[in-house]
Structure 1
Amino acid sequence: MAIPINSDTVHTPPVPSATVMVVRDGPGGLEVLLVRRHGNSGVLGGVHVFPGGKLDAADQQVDAAVLDQPAHTLLQALGEPGLDLPTALGLHVAALRETFEECGLLLGHVGAVPGLVQQVRAHTRAGAGFAVALQQLGLPLAASSLVPWSRWITPRVPSVTNKRFDTRFFVAAAPQGQAAEHCTFEATEAVWLPPRTGLERYWAGEIDLAPPQIMTLSQFSRLGSVAQVLAAARSRPPALIAPEPFDEAGCRVICYPGDPRHSVPERVWPGPTRLIYRNQRFEADGGLAALLA
């Protein structure tokens, strides 16, 4: 299924959002969790994405005392001048909440606790918000399980959606003893894939990926374990990615920092600095080999 390319300008500001790359060590090395959005979804229908969603007002109203890290530590980790404390706290809460809602994982908690996930679900189904449900069960919000990885800001002319997002990407180790189960309302499957396999399946036309997933999997393909991913995330501030699209020779091109056409000359990652939409998919110069180099 080809992703339709948007050429309309979006005049509304980007919506604050959070997404999580949940990783685990599989038999063949690093694996990352992807969920396939329902085909009728208003954003990236049918595309495999990392779990996540927009920041809700309730996420920002959570008492900082229920978090397992001080709010100022969370703010500092995001490394964004001018970001306010409630938003920083809320983004971490949103990341934890969306991961639970979309694939049933309670990050930072060992699933061996009898019925832990089921207990939280019972409280949320009874009307409690995610954070309140954890409070009722005497559980902290494990913000320490999240490590900021990057920040993606959708340009005014988005390429794959008609909405703008300001999304903070976090990495988190999969909690032991818990099984990922996709939300049947929002998704049709949850699948663990080695980053290289995800890109190979995308190249073969077996799954669809959006540019942020393509470029992130490309970076993960250079890492071999959860420990390496977390070490890489902690070794630098979160990369700021503000894609700059343009059309050339009838093709949409999305360039990233370090590309000759991007306004920021410094690279934020090794490998390709642009994707080109051709053959009904986004390709890097040099093809699949460039993404996996």
Structure 2
Amino acid sequence: MNPRLRHWREAATLLLAAGAPARPPRSSLGAFDYELLLLQRSPRSGFLPGAHVFPGGLLEAADFSAEWLELLPPPPHCGLGLVRPPPPGSSRAPLFATDRQSLGSPLPAEVAFRICAIRETFEEAGILLAVPGRGPAPGGGPARALPAERLPELGAWRRRVQHDASCFPRLCRHLGCAPDIWALREWSNWLTPAGGAGRGGRRYDTAFYVCCVERRPARAAHDGREVTGAQVWLSPAEAVERFKSQEIWLAPPQFYELCRLGNFSSLQELNKFSSERALEGCERWMPVILTASDGYMQLLPGDELYPEDPDHTGEKKITLSTDKKIEDLMKEGSIFHRIVIKNTHDLAVYVNIQAKYKHKNPVVLNSNNSDFNSRL
């Protein structure tokens, strides 16, 4: 863990995509042969109460535990591929670039954050992504969750891990397995904006990973604490449709990533792209909020309105606002990387900049402004 952080708490989240029969499309994006796991946060949660989110949570000291050295291939990379140097003018996100050894951690961030995402998915959804022995699993296809016949013995272990994260390496030792860190592909890095902090000023520096599994795991019981009993498996298009029909609520980063996954209708296609792209690294994004007269925008790096020196800490108390309407701001502009928010369930992503790190821009999902969208 990084005790030098003052403004964010480090976290990891998992976009878990499971193979599923293609169903008739509910949107213009067409049919998908996979679904994503979304969990509903408790209305009592201090951050994003009631929202549907990807499984994930805070990094724990146990995710850097020296016990993992006995369960994984040797460090420093534990069988993971090396991320290439960032493009000229860019730098590796501090979340990954921080020298963890100088902080007394035996594992690099690339390993610990994957362990965090796998542990949190087990705690919140009862799904354990693991491979026999020390890994990695052979082959480059979608991963497999723990077989259903092993699930009955995990109930008590899950409660132990929820209570004490240091029980997670002990569980893996008991099962003779390793967390399948090699199936997780680095995808993105989001910072909570200064104006979007939760209760008590909580802000997060979160690593997003993608993991493709062959089929939906046999069982995924809810934890009854941070998430409620409501959990759903939806294709990217279905999730966006349910959001717009107010059946579920999504925070802007989750909405953005679902739109980005709209580029891939096939699980094999997503697995291939995420596997090949992951070693490029990813960008670090902190949205900056611009309030308009009839809504607001979350500006992202590359947008023509994004500040040259954004208020990362929140200590400057800088606010961006205008008396103009969102429609006027859109007509006046030409370089976009923004999430436009009219109300809680009316979000749209506008991107016409070149994606970095060999990534994909989101698919524009805003039927209310089709004329404008056709020009992007």
TM-score range (shorter-chain normalised) is 0.7 to 0.9
Quick one: distance in 2 between partners of 1:204 and 1:160? 25
The CA deviation at 1:82 is 3.4
Question: What TM-score, normalized to structure 1?
Answer: 0.82
| In the alignment, structure 1 residue 181 sits paired with structure 2 residue 226 | no
Quick one: distance in 2 between partners of 1:214 and 1:88? 25
Q: Which residue is 2:15 aligned to?
A: 21
Quick one: distance in 2 between partners of 1:281 and 1:92? 31
Listed as ranges, the matches of 1:110-149 within 5 Å are: 110=144, 113=147, 115-125=149-159, 129-149=167-187
Instruction: Select which of 170, 177, 189 maps to 2:209.
Output: 170
Quick one: distance in 2 between partners of 1:197 and 1:69? 41
The number of equivalent residue pairs is 277
Quick one: distance in 1 between partners of 2:245 and 2:13? 26
Q: Which residue is 1:37 aligned to?
A: 41
For the pair shown, which has the larger CA radius of gyration, 1 or 2?
Answer: 2
* Structure 2: runs of 5 or more not aligned: 23-32, 85-91, 101-106, 132-143, 309-334, 351-363
Check conservation: 2:34, 2:235, Cα contact below 8 A.
yes
| In the alignment, structure 1 residue 229 sits paired with structure 2 residue 223 | no
Check conservation: 1:30, 1:223, Cα contact below 8 A.
no
Check conservation: 2:188, 2:207, Cα contact below 8 A.
yes
> Residue by residue, what CA displacement relative to the aligned partner does 1:46-72 show, whole Å, maximum 9, x if unpaired?
110000000011111142331358542
The CA deviation at 1:104 is 1.0
Partner secondary structure for residue 157 of structure 1: helix
Q: Which residue is 1:254 aligned to?
A: 298
Quick one: distance in 1 between partners of 2:125 and 2:272? 25
> Alignment identity in percent?
29
Give, as a single letter, the amino acid of the residue that structure 2 aligns with 1:123.
Answer: W
Distance 1:194 1:74, change over 3 A: same
| In the alignment, structure 1 residue 63 sits paired with structure 2 residue 68 | yes
Check conservation: 2:14, 2:117, Cα contact below 8 A.
yes
Listed as ranges, the matches of 1:196-207 within 5 Å are: 196-207=237-248
Moved more, 192-201 or 137-146: 137-146
| In the alignment, structure 1 residue 283 sits paired with structure 2 residue 347 | yes
Distance 1:119 1:175, change over 3 A: farther
The CA deviation at 1:252 is 2.7
Q: Which residue is 2:50 aligned to?
A: 46
> Residue by residue, what CA displacement relative to the aligned partner does 1:162-203 show, whole Å, maximum 9, x if unpaired?
421010001112365533222222222111101011111111
The CA deviation at 1:214 is 0.4
> Residue by residue, what CA displacement relative to the aligned partner does 1:198-218 show, whole Å, maximum 9, x if unpaired?
111111111100011100000
| In the alignment, structure 1 residue 210 sits paired with structure 2 residue 251 | yes
> Residue by residue, what CA displacement relative to the aligned partner does 1:13-47 show, whole Å, maximum 9, x if unpaired?
11110000000122122311100111111111111
| In the alignment, structure 1 residue 96 sits paired with structure 2 residue 118 | yes
Q: Which residue is 1:81 aligned to?
A: 97
The CA deviation at 1:83 is 4.7
Give, as a single letter, the amino acid of the residue that structure 1 aligns with 2:43.
Answer: G
Partner secondary structure for residue 18 of structure 2: strand
Quick one: distance in 2 between partners of 1:249 and 1:108? 50
Check conservation: 1:67, 1:143, Cα contact below 8 A.
no
> Residue by residue, what CA displacement relative to the aligned partner does 1:243-263 show, whole Å, maximum 9, x if unpaired?
122222253310112211125
Q: Which residue is 1:106 aligned to?
A: 128
| In the alignment, structure 1 residue 152 sits paired with structure 2 residue 190 | yes
